[in-house]
Every structure is written in C-alpha cells, then in structure tokens.
Structure 1
C-alpha cells in the first residue's frame, strides 16, 4: 500500500537551470519579451473571453452588486496570481499549471489538475464561440438587416424555467463554423507574434472604452437601487447573489495564468513575470469594473436576463442609432474570434504535454512533419468543442468553466508551500509569495472555496462525474503508461 501511495505521489524531476545567457533560457528559447508585450499577453488572453457575455448571466443573480462580484473574483485571481508568479520561474517547465503540480504534489494530483484544465479551456472555447454567434447576428442585423435563422442559432439542449429543455432539430451553427475556422488555422501551424497580439489588445481596449463612454452618457443612478438582488426565488438574494455571480464571472480572469507559462521567453523574468501578472490583473479589473458600472447605469438590472449581444444592445438603446452597435459588434466578433483560437490552441498544447508524459495515448502528441501542428489532437479538440458549442446552452458552461478554474487554482496554491518544503528552486533568487509560504496560498484556497460554494448543484454533479472519468482514465491508462515508470523517464 505504501508503494502504491508513493507511485501516486511521484513527482516529475525539475530540469536544473543551465548557464544560459541573459538572452536565452535554459531550454533554448530566446528571451525576447519585455514587460509591455508580456503584460499584453495576459490582458489579451483575458479580455474578450467574458466581459462581452457574462453580464447577461451575472447581473440577474447579483443585480447592481455585480460590481462586488467582479471585485471578489479579482481578489481571488490576485491571490492565485502571486502563487503563479513564484512557481513560474522556480519550476522552469514549459506548459501550464499542470507542470507545476507534477513537480510538487505528484502525478495523480497533476492528472486531476490536467482534467480541470481540459474542462476550463475546452468549455471556455465553447462558451466564447456561442457568445460570438450572438454578436455576429447583431453585426449582420445592423450591417444589412440580415438575420441568422433562429433554428440555426438555437441549441438542442437549453436552460428553461423548469430545468434543461430538449429541442430536437435545433442547432447553433455559427459557433461550430467558428471552431472549424480556428481548427483550420491551427492545422496550418498559424502563430501570433507578441507585437501583433499587443496591437489586437489595444483595439480591444479601444472598443471597451468606446462602450463605456457611450453607456455613461445614458447613466442613471436610479438603476443601482436596490443595490443587492432582493429576489430570493432562486436563492440569489443579498450576498448569496454576489458570490453566485462571482462564480459566473470568475472565468473572465482565466487568461492571467498565460503570463506564467511564458516565463522562459521573458527578459529579466524574476522582475517582469510577477510585475506582468499583477499589472495585467490590475488593467483587466479596472476595465471590467468600468464596463459593469457603465452597463448597469445605462439600463435596469432586470433587462439583462436573456439579452443577446448585451453590450451592443445597450449602446443602441442609449444612442437610438444602429452604427454604435455595429462598431461594438464588429469589435466583439474580431476579439472573440482571436480568443477562441488561442483557447483551443492552449487546449491542444495541454493535451500534447500530458501525452508526452505518457499519461494519455500517443495520438495526442503526433505532429504534422511540415507544419509541426498536432493534427489528431487538434481535430479531436475542435470536434468536441464544436459539438458542445452547437448543441448546449452557454448558460451552463460559464459555471463549469469557473469550477474547473477554481479547482486548478486551489492546486496551484497548494503547490507553493509544497515546493518550499521540498526545496525546489531554493537556489533560484527571485520573487517570493509575500508573508511566507502559507498565508497567501491559504487565503487563495479559502477565496476559491468561498466562490465555489454558490455554484449550482448541477455544476457540482457534472464536475464530480468528470472527476470520476478522470480518475478512471488515470488508473486504466496513465498509471501504467507514465514515463516515470521507466528509469529514463524518472531521470528526465
């Protein structure tokens, strides 16, 4: 039994830093990213995934106090961001937080972390693709009066007043087309440079400022009364509505961790990685709060429920003209397209890393000889993401993404004190989580659990089923095929 427990807790050795020069990391990657493009990577991977959509789901839960929900989510993301900042350069492993978990808390926990990341990235891609469909339809309506037929943009499984409703023959086709386009680009080996990403981020921020300025022109303080949701028919009255909304909007902050995964390509990572993480979080939080305040001030909270392409509708109602909605919808279409592409890319690369460790079949690491793109991997991911986006209502997906993200953040927080206790990276001088290795990680875990407790019962049920599938997959395949079973893998 002890031998079995040790096998579950075995860790992947961390490759020591070599004497790489300041312009090259220990793994041969060029250190080309300064603080600004690094920060823009985090902002770009975050803004666009949620702010265009989540108010429609969050405001009906919290009312005007949705502002507090964004602050609570930002605080929780900030605590975890500090943990990422230390882990990112003490454990010089390419990839995501899966690598941090594998090097600290062990293989089984890393596999569970990987399952959470797959849930997070896969459903986030599906959810954003569904939101893209709404803004695309709004853009077409304002551009030329064209409507996508309702039968071609309605999911087969939708949320209703009495639970999940089944609509045979219905399909949401636009998000499936978007996922197919993303898959085509990924199969061609398309890459985005940091400079191009920075330009795209500035365009996104300009669109958001455009919305805020117009929405504030129709600001009415009376829309903030009552501040807390007073309707307890769904259990969302008072602070319960705030925490429930925080769970919904939390996935809007998932892009912050992309900065940590770029640590090997950053100039002066000991300074720029932690500063970039916190700077990106601050920028994102400010813009989210501006949008939330402006949106709630521009229309009563009751109007958000079920509203499609919400931000575009708000600017059209405030101005009484179609062109502002056209501009905002166009910005959202471009922004969400890029975020969906990057999210699917991240999903495929996580699967690639897990496959390289032997924990899932080798088909996920096979690459095209010319483009070097993981072909099978990409086709499988795009098929699953596309079908989910085409058949399922987005309402349920937001909370599932947040559940996967919160669970992953908890494991990241646990990894910090474990890393310190094991002395991993102790000889590397750089950023440390303030106030010792226990206080901030503990607060991060408590904050994650506090938000998690108000997610819906259905979210917990599906999550536990997914965890059961992950555990079964690990014992059926991963445990026997892990590279750590071989002397070569253990020494790697």
Structure 2
C-alpha cells in the first residue's frame, strides 16, 4: 500500500493529477448540462467558470504555501477553525463532493463506452461499467505514488493532445466560425440570468480537480512553490481545452441536439465532422480521460480521509481489514463511489456535487479571511471576492434547481445537515469519552 511519502510527486506529476481529475467529468459529462442551462453561447460560461475558479484557487494557493500537507483542505480547515465541528463537517463535505465526482466520472465512462455499440442506455450496463472502472482505480492506487503519477501524467498528456486534435478538426470542418450551429429548440431551458449564472456552478465543478493537488501537498517536491504552480498550470490548461472543445461542439451540433444527447454530447458532436470514426475516437478519449480522472481523485480523497481519521475528526471502523488506515479509507472511498454510481444519474450526481463543493469552498474562504489573513499573507479583497462569487453562483444554482428539480436541493440540504449534526455528535461523544478517563 502506498503511504505518505514526502517529495514523491514532481511538479509534472502534480499537474498530471490536477488535469487528470479536471479534464474528465468537466468536458465529457458536464458540457451538455452547461448547454442546457446557458443556451447557445454556453462555451463562454467555461471562461466565466475559469475566472471564478481562479479567485477561489487563490485561497488554496496561499494556504498551501503556508501549510503544505497531504491532508490538503482538511489541514487548511484545522488551521482556520481548529479541530471542531466546522472543520470536520466542511472537510467531509469536500470528501463527499470528491466521491460524488468519482461516481460522475465513472458513469461518464460507462455512457461513452456504450456509444461504441450504438447504445444510449443509461441503465444497468452503465452502472456495471462504472463499478468496473472504480475497481480498476482501486487496484492502481495500491501500486504506489511513482506509478500513479507516471500513469496519470502520460494519460493526461494523451487525452489533452487528443481533445485538441478533435477540437481543431471540428473547428476546421465548421470553418472556424464563432456562430453556433443552431438555435435552441424545445428542449432548451430558460436561459435567463439566473439560469446562466447557475451554469457557472457546473463549470466550477469541472475545475474543482485542482484541490487534488492541495490534498497531496506534502508529497510534492518543494511544495511551497510547486503546489501553487501546479494549480495555476492545471486550471490554465483545462480552461484552454474546455474552451476549444465547447467551441467545436457548438459549431457542429445544434443546441437542442447537444441538450438531447447531454450525457454523451461530445461523441454526438463528432458525427457531423468525422462520422463513425470520429465517434470511436471521441469514445476512446473519454475512456482515457475518465480512467485518469478516477485514479487521481481516489488518490487524493483517500489521503484526506486518512488524515482526518488520524486527527480523530471522523469516525473509523476497520471492519476486520488488515493494513493501515489509509488503505481502509481507500476502500471506503471506492465503495461509496460505486454505490452512488449505481443509484444516481449523471445530472443529479453533478448537481449535488456542485452544491456541496460550493458550500465547502465558502467555508474555506471565510476561514482564510476571518482567521488567517496575516499568517498566509492573503489579500482580503481577493478572498472576499471569491466568497461573494461563490455565494452568487450557489444562490442562482439552488434557485434554478428548486424550480426544476426540488429533490436535488432537499437531498443536498439533508446531506449538509446530516454531516454537521453527525460530526457534532461524534466530536462531543469523543470529548466526553476522553474526559471520563
């Protein structure tokens, strides 16, 4: 089992982990959902999402420079709030949102793989393929840090090059026009200002993979410099790839068709430009991208959970498993992701993940602004801007979901309340147990 190993990840390896998570769910699973909310000019939403993410990443970069840790966000919260309910609950929201992202990526793998056989089924075959991918990610993650960073770096490079080839070919066929292929049809959502802002929430979810880098902080060589560099590089590379792909898709496929095929819109956009060979090429890229995304995400979240367990901030049971806590949290991560991949569809997985992540993100920014401005040297204006942007985007997203899918808002709220309530009870019980000895 791979344990914490200082200086075991290079700058290139860290960028590979970040882009490995980002360029998977972001472009393959969320593109159609963003189009449904934002309408015909949806490619521009990825730029806005990149800007909002840039403000958000500032807090993480400043914290990483001051407190590089394999626990990443969990350690940042401890520094800001101490070892209490807020820290434990926000860290769990982060972990859950990352596991949700893993199930999102896994189902995307299943959905795109079935396109090879001309199937649009989202039933048991998608779930079966998703579970198989998560099992493969578990096997890779017990192979050691060197193998993980080499695998994810090579695969990330291959998929980035492949996606750029796809987008360049699609734009060439469309004559590099900025005009979309068609207007929204009857399937398009109301693209009012709230809906457009809500679309930004999904693009933020597609960029959140940069936290994978912070969660591997102490394992990265020269972390005080390289964590920030890796985050900036990963976000920049992902934004460029997202924009090129979204532009190519919008140039080759009418918006109503993008929405109709939202779970596999990239493959569908390849048909008018490249025919069936293009579909196979796109599916191959999706398989590569989702595999690397799952491996990198499982790598990060299992380490954060292990750190929280070591600090007695979350409950832990061995269930008879041998080995250390980090191996156990790896098992828990993969099993929970499997369950989510079987039970929920892509749209609802993405929505819950976006809500939980934005709530956690706001807690991080508040902690930096309220408690750690001096220690980190963070610019208060930038941190407050990040906090306000998150609040605006979250508010718009919840407003739109209340109107279109109230169940998602209820489930997300119950997740948050259960997390805070459960952590409060657990920490109070532990404190009482310690005082009685």
TM-score using structure 2 length: 0.86
Q: 1:216 to 1:448 in 2, by over 3 A?
A: same
What is the rounded CA distance, in whole Å, between the counterparts of 1:204 and 1:323 in structure 2?
17
Q: For residues 199-226 of structure 1, what are the alpha-carbon distances to aligned partners after superposition, in whole Å with 9 as ceiling and x for unaligned?
A: 2111010111121022113326542676
- Counterpart of 1:352 in structure 2 is 306
Contact in 2 for aligned 1:74/1:285 (Cα 8 Å): yes
- Counterpart of 2:419 in structure 1 is 470
Contact in 2 for aligned 1:43/1:283 (Cα 8 Å): yes
Q: 1:285 to 1:222 in 2, by over 3 A?
A: closer
- Asked whether 1:111 is paired with 2:88, we answer yes
Contact in 1 for aligned 2:37/2:195 (Cα 8 Å): yes
Q: 1:196 to 1:338 in 2, by over 3 A?
A: closer
- Asked whether 1:223 is paired with 2:177, we answer no
1:255 match: secondary structure? helix
Q: 1:299 to 1:310 in 2, by over 3 A?
A: same
- Counterpart of 2:204 in structure 1 is 250
Q: 1:221 to 1:279 in 2, by over 3 A?
A: closer
What is the rounded CA distance, in whole Å, between the counterparts of 1:465 and 1:136 in structure 2?
33
Q: What is the CA-CA distance between 1:103 and the residue it aligns to? A: 1.4
Higher Cα Rg, which structure: 1
1:362 match: secondary structure? coil
Q: What is the CA-CA distance between 1:415 and the residue it aligns to? A: 2.5
Contact in 2 for aligned 1:46/1:254 (Cα 8 Å): yes
Q: 1:279 to 1:338 in 2, by over 3 A?
A: closer
Contact in 2 for aligned 1:366/1:376 (Cα 8 Å): no
Q: Which of 124, 128, 136 is the equivalent residue of 2:101?
A: 124
What is the rounded CA distance, in whole Å, between the counterparts of 2:78 and 2:209 in structure 1?
21
- Asked whether 1:40 is paired with 2:16, we answer yes
Contact in 2 for aligned 1:358/1:482 (Cα 8 Å): no
- Counterpart of 1:393 in structure 2 is 345
Q: Which runs of 5+ in 2 are unaligned?
A: none
What is the rounded CA distance, in whole Å, between the counterparts of 1:484 and 1:140 in structure 2?
57
Aligned residues: 424
- Counterpart of 1:158 in structure 2 is none
Q: 1:260 to 1:378 in 2, by over 3 A?
A: closer
- Counterpart of 2:132 in structure 1 is 177
1:54-453 pair list within 5 angstroms: 54-106=30-82, 107-141=84-118, 152-153=124-125, 172-186=127-141, 192-219=147-174, 221-223=178-180, 236-307=190-261, 308-320=263-275, 322-363=276-317, 368-369=322-323, 374-420=326-372, 424=375, 432-433=377-378, 436=379, 438-453=380-395
What is the rounded CA distance, in whole Å, between the counterparts of 1:317 and 1:329 in structure 2?
15
Q: For residues 156-213 of structure 1, what are the alpha-carbon distances to aligned partners after superposition, in whole Å with 9 as ceiling and x for unaligned?
A: xxxxxxxxxxxxxxxx322123223333444666863434332211101011112102
What is the rounded CA distance, in whole Å, between the counterparts of 2:27 and 2:281 in structure 1?
16
What is the rounded CA distance, in whole Å, between the counterparts of 1:267 and 1:354 in structure 2?
23
1:442 match: secondary structure? helix
Q: For residues 469-491 of structure 1, what are the alpha-carbon distances to aligned partners after superposition, in whole Å with 9 as ceiling and x for unaligned?
A: 112212321233269968xxxxx
1:49 match: secondary structure? helix
Q: 1:92 to 1:216 in 2, by over 3 A?
A: closer
Q: For residues 330-380 of structure 1, what are the alpha-carbon distances to aligned partners after superposition, in whole Å with 9 as ceiling and x for unaligned?
A: 1211220221233233333332222212133332698734xx574543443
Contact in 1 for aligned 2:152/2:292 (Cα 8 Å): no
Q: What is the CA-CA distance between 1:285 and the residue it aligns to? A: 0.9
Q: 1:197 to 1:445 in 2, by over 3 A?
A: same
Q: What is the CA-CA distance between 1:79 and the residue it aligns to? A: 0.7
1:223 match: secondary structure? coil
Contact in 2 for aligned 1:187/1:374 (Cα 8 Å): no
Contact in 1 for aligned 2:36/2:188 (Cα 8 Å): no
Q: What is the CA-CA distance between 1:313 and the residue it aligns to? A: 1.9
1:363 match: secondary structure? coil
Q: 1:366 to 1:314 in 2, by over 3 A?
A: same
Which structure has greater helix proportion?
A: 2
- Counterpart of 1:4 in structure 2 is none
What is the rounded CA distance, in whole Å, between the counterparts of 2:340 and 2:304 in structure 1?
19
